Structures are given as structure tokens and as C-alpha cells.
Structure 1
């Protein structure tokens, strides 16, 4: 009983400790979430929108509750923390100012302008939620890999600038321009000292420590400095609030729902800024994937990206329905949660509930939070992003990639986020085209000596093909062919073809292009190969194309490359076989050595073997022997052609090598005593002569000279095969 009692007490102690840890972590997450959210609200409702700050703040704060709660419950990472996002807030600040300006310019009242801004925030959240959920539904969680890295860096640098610009608007009440920059000098030390303390303290402190307590301690120090200054100057809370140093309390019960605001809002300005609203959704999607990737790497936790997109999408739909701003998973708060030892969902849920309690029941606490401290947080966020992408990335990226980052930042600062992202994507695509155009898409070049088909030739035929090797110019391509690569390939091949015409052997007769490893082509590439066909026609050469996939065949037929006179084969081996047959058939030497009908193709030294050989007649497709049969015979191909084929798992066969008249097949199993390693099938009607192993053993005893000549013939055939293989291997390297 004592042991059970002690075990129960230990279990209760452990549960109480875990609950206390979750409560501390949840409280810390809530404090940070509210601090950042207040800063985002101050950034959105600044400058000309500053009079609506108190009324608009609930739209930002509600995101702390909804996004934080849904992500804590639905994320694939149990200790994930979510909330309003700085990237989305920075974009919304610029869009909100433009929308309000449009309403006022059209004669709308302040009420209409405010309602339109709140509808904008809700619409951006709903659009973001729909996009994130759609990406999760179609399992596009890996879409981040298709965004060029410099574009991501340029966007984040631009976002950092927008956050700093928001901090300037909160401090001065005016947008950041060269004309308004001197306004900073007119600020009191109570405006600037806490802001610089928090901003500089976090930027410098983050370089030396990663302790969880850094952010709350620096924020607390900023609050202490602010209130110490307030006490030293003799100002009251009301006077500080009147001076814009503190917020007006606004409980969450005063939140304006989007449905109620529709009658006062102007929809036309929202339609005119639809591209920017979609940009907020795209930026949040990118932020979700980037943040969750960082969290997975830092915590060694497997991330289900589609589940993260789904949870963020659902949270944004809900917060949008309530009029809140877009949010997502937070890297800093999640890592803080993990570093203090939290491994479950309870801390995140408690953090969201604490946010709800403070916003709903204790709004005066928020009203006591100093604006200069919020400005300091914005300086930290924006400064950290600029430092990361403008300075630290300089050492990590090539100069042409790095230049895209400040260029995008300047465009975002002067012309908006959409223009900056479009510039970045276009520039990144151009850089890719230039780089890919420098990649050598020529996998190999060869002539008739360097590359042979898998057809076994006689010794004499191999000598003849060696003499005619220069009559073939072959090239094997790889990758994706587009206008940046196809023109250089055409120029290279045309130069080789034209230079060969000056040689004594009459130049290239066959031009072979292998597309076996080509993934695709564009329209300009097909035009280049039409010009190649024309160059071959002028040079008197025949164009042979091999390895064309079905889509490539369709492209080349539409483009005019595959026309009469152009030879096309399924693979490189078949194309080489056809060219070799053509060279042998047209050779004077081949014509001189053509045999009379009925004359055996056995070498003269082995004619005495004829009485000892059995004649086997094969129809096309008939097996000479099968894989795993006993290796008890060797065969001379008298006429026709047979091939060695390997049976594959899918029921198909792969041709390994073909054997024509005058060659020998099946000798390896006879010498090794192993079973047949592959099938041998007649490709055409064929006649073969069979030498049985018992017959060979009898000849070795009764006629050793004839048996010796047979073995010598086999050795010469094997040496010829090895010589061809060595030459191909040498030239391929």
C-alpha cells in the first residue's frame, strides 16, 4: 500500500509540475502574442488611420485567440503556437492606407472608410484561409520549393522595410518619406528611449544568447524605462494617452463583425486592390511553409506540411468571419515553448485562453502597454529581417542572386509588394534561363568506332565498320531543351557536319541524335531541329532520331522535323543497328565478300566441323533456348538473326545483343558449365548450326587440331568483342 501511495503521489506531483510548466509557458506565449498583436494593430492603424486605432484594435487582438487556439489544437506539432503574422500585417498596413485614401477621394465619409478597412482585413483573412485550405486539400504543401530562394529573400527584406516604415508611422503619425524623416528629431526622449532600448536590446541580445527569457525581459525593461520617465516628467496616464504614448482601452465585445459592416463599406476599392489581397494570402502561405520548415529543423520534429496548411487555413477562415487579421504558425514563440520543455498542446491552448481573458475582461491592461515599446518590437522585427537578408545573405549567395534581394526591397518600398514580387519572379526566371543555357545538354558525342549497336558482327564486319567510323556523327542529349540551349546545340552540330565535308572520306553520311534522356522541348527547339534537318540535306547526310518520347514525337511532327527522309527509332541501339547495316550493305568490301547461295558462313578454318554440326531451323520469334536451360551446346548463326533477350518482371523482354550470320552464340555457358543466363530468340527466320558439348569433347579426343581451331576461333570472337567494348569505354570518358 505504501508503494502504491508513493507512486500515486509522485504521479500527481509530476502532473502538477507539468501543469505549472504549461501555465508559465502559456502565460509567456500570451504576453508575447498580445505584445506583437498590439504592434501590428498600431502599424495598420497609423498615420491617417491613427484615429481609428482603438476601434480597430479588436480586429487584430481577436486573431491572437482564434489563430492561437485552432493551431494549438490542429497542428501536426503538439507544442505549436500561432498568432497574427508580421508579414501579413506589414502588407495590410499599406493596403489599408490606400483603401481608406480611395474611399475618401471618392467622397466617402470616415465611417465608410473605416468600415471598408475592416472589411479589407476580414476579406484578406478569408482569402488566406481559402488558399491555405485549397493547398492542403490538393496536397501542395511542398510548393515552397518552387519559389526561387532570392525571391523569398527579397520579399522578406521588403517586408522588413515595411515593418520599419510602420514603426516610423506609429512614432510620427506620418508615412516615411525624405520629407518626413526629420520628424524623428522632434520626438521626445520618452518616445525614443524605450523604443531604442527594446529594438537595439533585442537585436544585440539575440546575437549573444538564445535564452527564452530575453524577449520578455527586454520588453519589461522597456516598460519600466517608460513608466520611470513618465513619473520623472510628472505626466499622468491620461496626459500620456492624450499625447499618443498609450492606447485607448477597447474590449473585444466592441468587435465589428464583417456582416454588420457591409452596409457602410465601399466594395469598389477592395476590388481594385484584389491583387494585393491575393498577395497577402500568397505571402501567408509562404510564411506557413517557411516557419514550419524552420521549426521542424530546429526541433527535429517531422512536419506534416499539408496538415499545417489545413490548420492555418481553418484558423484564418474563422478569424476572418469574426473580422480578424491573417495569422499563422509562429517560429519564435513555438521554439520558446519547446525550449522551456513543453511537449503537448495544453500550453498553446492556455495561451489562447489567457489572451481571451485579457482582451475580454481586462482591456485596461492592454491600454497600459506603452506605444514606444511596441515601436521597439517593430524595430526589432524589421531590423532582424533586413540584417538577415541584406547583410548576412551577402556571404551566402552568388552576387547575381544577392542583387535581386535589394532590388526587390526597393521596388516593394516604392511601388508595393505585388510589383516587387513580380519583378523578383521575372528576374529569377531570366537568371535561370541564362544559367541553364550555359549547362551542357550534350551528354555524349561519338562516331562509329566509339559507339556500336548490340548486334554481334563478324571480325571482318567490325574491321569494315572501324574504317567507316567517321561516316557517323552521333550526339546524345539530356535535360530540357529550350531556346537557350537548342541554338548552341544546332551551331555545334552544324559546324561538325560542315567541317567533315572537307575530309578525304567524303564527310558524315549519318547524323544521329539521341533523345533518350531529354525530358522536354519548347517550340524554339523544334525550329532548331528543322534547321538541323536542312543542314543535313545540304551536306548529303541522313538524319536519324532515336529515343523520342510520345510527346516529343508530337512536337517534332507539328514542328516539321519528322518528315519523309528523317529516320526515327525507338532507342539508340536500334538506330545504330540500322546505320551499321546501311554502311555494311553499301560497302564495296561487303559486296566483294558476299557469298554464293548455299555456301556455309563457317570460317574456312572450321569447315571441317560441318559434318559434326546439327542444323536447326528457326521461325521468327521462336526460342533457340531459354533462360536457365542447360548450357550444353554452342551455335553458329548460318543465316538470319537471333538476339539475346532478358525477361523482365513486368512480362516484357529487353534485347541485350543480336547475332547475325557468321557469329557464334551460347559459348559462355559451355565454357563455364553454368545454366543459360538469358533467352535467345530468332528475330528473323534463321538457320543455326549446333555443336553439342559431347561432340566437342569427342573432337578434343579424336581430332585435337580441329578442336583447337574451334577454341581459337572463340577466343578471337571474344577478343573482338572486348576490343569494341574497350574502345566505347575509352571514348565515353
Structure 2
């Protein structure tokens, strides 16, 4: 197919997708108008049409301009509409009673403030590139608010066609079934089938079916369709034939009840923040469904500009719709700007020329559309999330829904955030505060010593308890740490001499946790042990300065430094210091004596001399006779980072004897040192001439490596 013909085939699909999107946008705008005004100020429903269609028109223009960058269809959002419907109901119930003109003025002012505030908040967030941070609102709060929105949509949908206190006879009457029960059940069935059976049912076709059934019921009822038009089955009773969109008049504000308006301002400002959050959730869903990266900050700026302009015209909040955008892409995958143009023109045409004929629209159709939105929110934000929610999350969501229904959105959000914070605190306190718990027998410093020294540390290591802490320290976690450390002290089979607390992975501390750590330090000393801390947090350092009492007996920058200090202390009490490994040294002497042509020369090294460098080809290993060597690897900014040190008796580089791989690190003399070299050529000669001695030497090397691996494995299992 040629590009010209291929493009021609896209045009009908694009126009069809645009028409469907425009019709859906229009009918939701009509539904939202009824939702806000039907009970509070029914005579002002034509003004409600202006509020919804003017906001949608501004959004349509922005959608057309930004199409090639965002590919999104925009529409008015139920989050704002449901909140405004609740505010409108409270205006209508105000004492003393207000006139319909005053209620209409209040609703119009509320819409303008909510939309303009939403636009301003979005512009600020977009310009400061903070969109990703707004998404950090606790999920139970978001879920609770959107679940409450779904419940309110269902309640308000029923309220459009049912009397305020219906009895069973009224609920089961044929007219009621046609207007409310059947469309509500159909909407719920579509959501359930889509979510749990993967069955896609076209919403436009279902809406057409609802309208068709309503016309059939009306045709076969007493008096036929003419009588049905005035029975409440159609919108004729609320929007008489010939009604047109009505522009708001300044005369409405002559007796404006400012005090009543100011009472709801906090709720309107909360709407701005929640609208921003709702839009970001829509954008995230659109990003997943389209499998492309969405520039959140740019989209937020576009929505901010649109709503700021819409607020000036009295329009309602509108922004990118993930659902309509996905539907449009399914119908016309490669659509160009013609799609949003068609959708926008369709919506404008319905608003300008279709409103006079709304009298013929079945009330059940409005109920169906609102119920579909309500069930969709319930399924997406509550039912589908139940397997992942904790009991605390569920309680938070239920409380938010209840407060929203019984009181106000602002109080619901405040209580929801408080409950989410409490639930997080309780959950966090149950997380393990210890990244690892071990003893000096298992966890060692990176200092390599002689086999004799390692045996001594194996025997004395149980007297050192080592705790690596993690996360945020607050009263709950530190109290548990206090109890467990005391329990370890009391149940130890040997007398504990040192307790090491490593704070390197601690993210922060609060005041009560700091005081509990001080209390733990006193308890450790009372048990005859010394407390050693590493990477002491600033809060504990400040408490130490203010209290005039040292929290720890010794403090080090790193855990490795603390372990090295304890090991040196233990060895110093048992022996004068590290000595060359007599086992391997004796064997090397015997090999030199008994095997002609094999020698292991000693080399004097000045401090700073490299024994070998990272990447060098392997050439045997060395034994440290005196002094100290260190292993270095390249760190950030090209700086050398010490990863191990070697004292007399340590064997360095023996891994290469088994693997043949190049040197993985640079080994350098930290002090003046003497090493005994065991070159690869000597090892090869030894294997040929005296395989028994070669096997004995390799056995010693293997045992040293196995002991090191055993300690590493034990350390991993101790975490």
C-alpha cells in the first residue's frame, strides 16, 4: 500500500475515534452538570452546561496544540465534580435558607476558585519540576479519596432519578428499574467483566443499549413516549425541550453570601491539590498503557495553563484522561492532530446545538455513565488493591470514605494523612533494626594475619558482640534494640567485653531514640562491657555534647577500624604481636633445602613500594615477614580505596595460584616491610620435582582460603 493510500485509510479511523471521544466527553459534561446542580439549584442546570462545556472547550484547544507532544484527550474530571456537588449540597442546606440565585452564585464562585487554584498549583509544580515529588502522597490517602469519589458518584447517580427516601415499592417499580437499577447493574457488570474476565464491552455501545431499552419501556408504557417524556424517564422534567446553555450573569452576585462561601474555601483548595494528584495518576496510567515516556512536568504545565484560563471563564477543571486517550489510540493508533480537532468540534457542536434536545435523552443514560465511573474508581483503587493492602491501610481508606460522606473532604484528608502516618510508623517499627548481628568470632576486619593469630581471634571473638544498624531510629525500633541487646548480654555463654554498634546505615534519629541509646550505653557498662560506636549520627554527637556524658567508650569512623582495634587489643593480651606463620615458613625453608633450583627470596620494601599492581599478570604470591601491606582499588575521582591490610604472617596474592587471573587490586607497603616471594616459576619446578611438597604447600593455602570463606559464609547467615 502506498503512503498516500495508507494515510487515506487512517482518516476515517481518526474521525471515528474523534467522534466517539467527543460524544463521551460531551455526555460526561452533561452528566456532571446534573450532578452539581440537580438538587442544589435545578433551575441553574443551563449554567451548569456552560461551566462544563467552557472548561472542556479550553481543554480541547490545549489538547490540539499539544497533540504531537502528548497525544492525550482531555476531559472534565469526576474528582472535582463530586467534591463540588457535595459543596453545592451544603450551600443548599445552609441556614438561613438561601435563594436559588444565591446558591447558583456560590457554586459558580466555587468552580472558578477551584479551577483557577488548580491551574496555579499545576503551573507552580510544573515550573519547579516537582511533579514526581507530588506522587509521594501515601497510597491509602489517594485510594481513600478516589474510593470515596466512586461511592459519591454512585450515590449521586441514584439521586438523579430516585426520590430522597425511596421505599421498596418505589425501588422495584418498572419505571425505577429502567431509570436506575438496570443501568447501574449494567455499569457494574461491564467493570467486573473487564477487570476479572478480560471481556471488553464497548461503553458507547452499552450506552446506546441503555437508551434503546429506555425508549422501548417508554413506548410500551401507558400513554407511550409522549407520556414517558414527562414521567421522569427522560431529562424533559429537568431540562425542558428548547433549553439552551446559559451564560452566568453578574446580577447573580448582587446578594452574594460571602460568609457561606468562605466556609468552603479550605475544601476548594484541597480540591486543587487532589486534582493535581489525580492528573499525575492519569499520566502514570497513560505512560504504562502507551509504553512511552511522559514528561510529567511539561504535561502539568499545560494542564495548569488550561485550568487557569478555564477558571477565568467559569469553566470546570479538566485535564488529560488516560481512559479516553487509550480508547482513541486503540481506534486510531497513528492518528494525527485531526483526532483532537474532531473530538473538540464534536463536543462544541453538542454543547451549542444539542442541549436544546436533551429532553429526549434518557435519565438512565446519565445514571449509567456516572455509575460506570463510580464502579471503575471502586474497582481500580480499592477492590483490585485489596491483596496488597494491610489491615491498617484498609482502615485508613474506610475512615476517609466515611468522613467524606458524613462531614467534608478537608477533614477526611487530614485524618487520612494522620492515619497513614500512624500506620507507617507502626509498620516501620516492625522492620528489623539490625542489618546483621554477629560476634568477633564470625565478623573480622579486613586485616589478614597469621594462622596463629586467626586461631586466637577464633577463641576470643565470642566476647565481642557486633550490631550493624539500619533505617530510621525512633522510639519503637530503639526500644526493641535495647531489649534484644540486653538479652544477648544476659544469655551469652562467655563474658562480653565489647559491644560494637555500627550506625553507618542509619538514616536518622529522633529525640526519644537518642535518649534510649544513652540508656542502652549505661546498661552495657553495668554489665562490665565497653561500648564501641562507629559512624556516630549527628543527633547522638549533639546529645553527647549537651549531656556532658560520653555515649561510647570508643568511637571510630568505620566498622573496620573498630574491628581492627578490638582484634589488636585481644592479640596484644595473648601474645606480643603478630608473628610470621611458622607452618608455611618452616615448609618454605624445607623446600629450599631439599629441592635444588627452588628458592623463595626475601625482599626489603620501603613504605609506598608496590608489591604488585591491579591488572598485573599473576606471578605466585608473597608472605609478609615484617611491616604492613595494604590492598588498594580505584575509587571515585580516581582515589585509591583501602580494602584490606596484611600483617606479618599473612599470605598475599595466593588466589592467583589457583585461578591464573590477573591481580584484582594493587598491594602496597604501608610501612617499611620485608616479604618472602614465592614466584610462579618456583611453584612449577616444585610440582615437577616434588609433587608431594607442592601438594602440602597448596593444602596450606587452601586451608587459609577455606577458613576465610567459612567466616564470610557464617557472616552472611548471621544477617
Q: TM-score, normalised by structure 2?
A: 0.84
Change in Cα spacing, 1:161 to 1:249, as seen in structure 2 (3 Å) is farther
Tell me whether 1:406 sits opposite 2:398 in the alignment. yes
Q: How does 1:116-127 map to 2 (within 5 A)?
A: 116-127=106-117
Change in Cα spacing, 1:296 to 1:711, as seen in structure 2 (3 Å) is closer
* Match in the other structure for 1:32: 24
The whole-number CA distance in structure 2 between the counterparts of 1:397 and 1:291 is 21
Return 443-452 or 204-213, whichever deviates more. Answer: 204-213
Q: How does 1:177-576 map to 2 (within 5 A)?
A: 180-182=165-167, 185=170, 193-206=178-191, 207=193, 209-211=200-202, 213-221=204-212, 224-225=215-216, 228=219, 232=224, 234-235=226-227, 244-247=237-240, 251-252=244-245, 254-256=246-248, 265-344=256-335, 345-386=337-378, 394=386, 397-500=389-492, 503=493, 505=494, 507-546=495-534, 548=535, 553-560=537-544, 563=550, 565-576=552-563
The whole-number CA distance in structure 2 between the counterparts of 1:27 and 1:694 is 81
The whole-number CA distance in structure 1 between the counterparts of 2:615 and 2:386 is 63
The whole-number CA distance in structure 1 between the counterparts of 2:260 and 2:491 is 66
The answer to whether the 8 Å contact 1:453/1:576 transfers is yes
The answer to whether the 8 Å contact 2:578/2:647 transfers is no
Tell me whether 1:132 sits opposite 2:122 in the alignment. yes
Q: How does 1:678-689 map to 2 (within 5 A)?
A: 678-683=665-670, 685-689=671-675
Change in Cα spacing, 1:213 to 1:510, as seen in structure 2 (3 Å) is same
The answer to whether the 8 Å contact 2:158/2:180 transfers is no
* Match in the other structure for 1:654: 641
For 1:664-696, what per-residue CA distance to the aligned partner results, in whole angstroms no more than 9, with x for missing partners?
Answer: 44566689887654322233x323145485996
- Give the drift of 1:302: 4.1
- Give the drift of 1:44: 0.7
Change in Cα spacing, 1:396 to 1:231, as seen in structure 2 (3 Å) is farther
The answer to whether the 8 Å contact 2:75/2:321 transfers is yes
The answer to whether the 8 Å contact 1:100/1:113 transfers is yes
Change in Cα spacing, 1:234 to 1:630, as seen in structure 2 (3 Å) is closer
Change in Cα spacing, 1:654 to 1:708, as seen in structure 2 (3 Å) is farther
The answer to whether the 8 Å contact 2:626/2:647 transfers is yes
* Match in the other structure for 2:711: 727
For 1:102-149, what per-residue CA distance to the aligned partner results, in whole angstroms no more than 9, with x for missing partners?
Answer: 5x64x8765444323211101101111222233333334445753444
What is the SS of the residue equivalent to 1:146?
coil
- Give the drift of 1:401: 3.7
- Give the drift of 1:462: 1.4
Return 111-120 or 633-642, whichever deviates more. Answer: 633-642
* Match in the other structure for 1:3: none
The whole-number CA distance in structure 2 between the counterparts of 1:131 and 1:306 is 12
Change in Cα spacing, 1:407 to 1:648, as seen in structure 2 (3 Å) is closer
Report the aligned-residue RMSD: 4.1
Unmatched tracts of structure 1, length 5 or more: 1-5, 175-179
The whole-number CA distance in structure 2 between the counterparts of 1:718 and 1:299 is 56
2:631 to 629, 644, 652: 644
Return 508-517 or 209-218, whichever deviates more. Answer: 209-218
The whole-number CA distance in structure 1 between the counterparts of 2:636 and 2:16 is 61
1:80 to 55, 72, 85: 72
* Match in the other structure for 1:177: none
The answer to whether the 8 Å contact 2:113/2:311 transfers is yes
The whole-number CA distance in structure 2 between the counterparts of 1:195 and 1:355 is 26
- Give the drift of 1:464: 1.4
Aligned residues: 697
The answer to whether the 8 Å contact 1:633/1:670 transfers is yes
The whole-number CA distance in structure 2 between the counterparts of 1:204 and 1:292 is 26
Unmatched tracts of structure 2, length 5 or more: 194-198, 594-598
The whole-number CA distance in structure 2 between the counterparts of 1:335 and 1:673 is 58
The answer to whether the 8 Å contact 1:445/1:475 transfers is yes
Change in Cα spacing, 1:239 to 1:205, as seen in structure 2 (3 Å) is closer
The whole-number CA distance in structure 1 between the counterparts of 2:384 and 2:583 is 76
Change in Cα spacing, 1:466 to 1:44, as seen in structure 2 (3 Å) is same
What is the SS of the residue equivalent to 2:41?
helix
Change in Cα spacing, 1:251 to 1:79, as seen in structure 2 (3 Å) is farther
- Give the drift of 1:37: 1.2
The whole-number CA distance in structure 2 between the counterparts of 1:612 and 1:157 is 78
The answer to whether the 8 Å contact 1:633/1:693 transfers is yes
Change in Cα spacing, 1:667 to 1:23, as seen in structure 2 (3 Å) is closer
* Match in the other structure for 1:157: 147
The whole-number CA distance in structure 2 between the counterparts of 1:447 and 1:671 is 31
The whole-number CA distance in structure 1 between the counterparts of 2:172 and 2:665 is 89
Change in Cα spacing, 1:242 to 1:729, as seen in structure 2 (3 Å) is closer
- Give the drift of 1:292: 3.2
The answer to whether the 8 Å contact 2:71/2:325 transfers is yes
Return 359-368 or 671-680, whichever deviates more. Answer: 671-680
The answer to whether the 8 Å contact 2:187/2:371 transfers is no
Q: TM-score, normalised by structure 1?
A: 0.82
Change in Cα spacing, 1:403 to 1:648, as seen in structure 2 (3 Å) is closer
* Match in the other structure for 1:42: 34
2:86 to 82, 94, 116: 94
Change in Cα spacing, 1:676 to 1:438, as seen in structure 2 (3 Å) is closer
Change in Cα spacing, 1:116 to 1:385, as seen in structure 2 (3 Å) is same
What is the SS of the residue equivalent to 1:313?
helix
The whole-number CA distance in structure 1 between the counterparts of 2:10 and 2:578 is 94
The whole-number CA distance in structure 2 between the counterparts of 1:192 and 1:93 is 25
The whole-number CA distance in structure 2 between the counterparts of 1:247 and 1:77 is 42
The whole-number CA distance in structure 1 between the counterparts of 2:711 and 2:146 is 55
